[in-house]
Copies of this chain bind each other. A is one copy, B any other.
């Protein structure tokens, strides 16, 4: 997994650490307050007190800046790519393996938990995560899901995995917490596949 928010498109870190965190903070506020559709690169640049061209140069487009602002330790495109490499009937298992592969790494886990914690405590963080879910993650999962209620099924599948992550890594419920990854994938993969099959 790459960490796209660590670097701009050019591969350099955008500006000074202060400018960078100022821009990401402005982006989080803009996305939370105005919503993904209405939020604009120009509006974020104004909030951050930087040039809009600079924003485009360092963060690419609105979606890339949004993903950077959410500060998740994985690239949503990597998740989509991992699923695209297998046939339709194996995508449930592949998604479960990719998802838990990220969580198994303690350094990846903490930023995801921090985001969930904030979302449960503050509506602005919940709004950010809601938009990340519906605008970034669900569109990357939905193409693997059959049927007219594909979005609903994609959300059911992803929220199933989030619930399992909470039980395994936060509550440390046994035997779930110490079940080897392969067994977990074998148990949950077919269930996620069932949601995919519609």
Contact = CB atoms under 8 A, between A and B. Distances in A.
B117 A121 contact: yes
B172 A164 contact: no
Main secondary structure of the interface of A (DSSP, over half): helix
Interface residues on A, range: 35 or more
Contacts of A138: 173
Contacts of A120: 113, 116-117, 120, 166, 170
Contacts of A151: 175
Contact of A171 (B126, B153, B173, B188): B126
Nearest to A137: B173
Contacts of A160: 159-160, 163-164, 191
Contact of A176 (B117, B156, B172): B156
A156 B187 contact: yes
Nearest to A158: B167
A194 interface: yes
Nearest to A176: B155
